[in-house]
Structures are given as structure tokens and as C-alpha cells.
Amino acid sequence: MEVLVNLIMVSMIDPGIIPRNDQEDGVSNGARKTGVTINGVNIKLKYCQICKIYRPPRSCHCAICDNCVEKFDHHCPWIGQCIGLRNYQFYLTFLITALVFFIYIFSFSCLRFHQRILQIGTGLFGMLGNSPETLALISFSFAAIGFLGGLACYHVYLIAINETAYENFRQRYVDSRNPFDKGVFSNIKEVLLVPSPPSRVNFREEITRGGPGAAVVI
């Protein structure tokens, strides 16, 4: 139940979409980049030609969702949603609860498999015909534990150094200091204990064709 709740939360919550600028930007091609200084490190702010905004630090435009997302981590194809500032906590909780769930399935499937061997008095190959469903559960849950366990460990590491998966993949701080790294305990507090900010997008706002913020879906 906990796995399902977290899956629904991470897939339904706004990940941190940055509203588009629907007005004419008037930004020349030579001014597509600007910068800010954070903790003594210069951070380049790129201009998004689709959203017509300067993306805040750690933000990225998702080519799949076609939105700029604040503190963009990655786009999860399994969930069908971007993971960003506002839903990362639910994503991590989903990973951990799913991992615990499959460990539970694997443990009790192995116990059931052992009991069946003692009852029937046969070996592994003899069980293929007697309890194929148990073997299937053991195999599937074992693979899921390996995948989810590796992914969970990777994100725990990212939290400890205060990097997003996107930043780590692009090796953003290989040649420079990470200005967002405040130490392990402060990083954990910032990522897991600080409440998510309210959404920048009013999904209940009435949209009129051609008006400010209008979006026409065909």
C-alpha cells in the first residue's frame, strides 16, 4: 500500500515546472547566457528558447515533458514523470518502500520454496514442475532487488554530496567546486527534511485561447 501511495504521489505532483514566458522576450542572440555567483562559484544561467526564460540554477528543460523543471534530476520512463525539486522526496521514498517490498517477497518466496522441497523430497529441477510460480517470484524479486538497491544506493550517494542525477551524469562539478555541497548532514537535511515549495503553476487557472499564459492543446 505504501509503495502504491508513493508511486501515485511522485507521478501526480508537479515536479517543479517553471512557467513559460508567453510575451516576446526581446533577448538578442548574444545575450542567451548570463550568470550568478553562488558560494563563490560562478554559475551560468542558460536561456531557454522554448520557455523564453533564463533557467534558474540546477534547472533543465525536459525534452520529453517539454517543460523547464526546477532542480531537474531526471525523467523517469518507468513512472512517466520528471523528477525534480517538488517530488524528489516522494521518489526516494518510493524507491526505498519498493525495495523493502521486493525483499519481503523474495524472503517469503525462498521460505516457501524450501518448505516445498522438504514436503516433496525433490531437488531444484524437480521443483520446476511443482512450483514454477514460486521460482518465478524468486527470480523476478531478485532482479528487482538488484535494480532498486543499486538505484537507491546511487541516490543516497547523490544526496550526500548534494548533486542531482543530471549534474552527476554531465560531470558538472568535475573541474570546479560544487557550490551546493554543504556537508553530508546539511545536504541530507536540505534534500529530505526541508518542505517542498508551493507549485509555481496554477493548474486550476482558467485558460483562454490567445490570452496570457494560454496553452492550446489539439
- In the numeric block, which cell numbers belong to residue 138? 524468486
Give the H/E segment covering residue 190: none
For residue 197, give the amino acid letter.
P
Q: Which residues are catalytic?
A: 76
CA distance 174 to 184: 18
Which string of b and e fits 132-143 if b means at least 16 CB within 10 Å?
Answer: eebeebbeebbe
Residue 85, C-alpha cell as written in the block = 525539486
**Owner of C-alpha cell 520528471:** 82
Residue showing cell 507549485: 199
Q: If you search the block for the grid coordinates 522438504, which residue do you land on?
A: 118
Distance (Å, rounded) from C-alpha 54 to C-alpha 52?
Answer: 7
CB 45 within 8 A of CB 35: yes
* Helices (runs of H) and strands (runs of E) counted in the chain: 6, 8
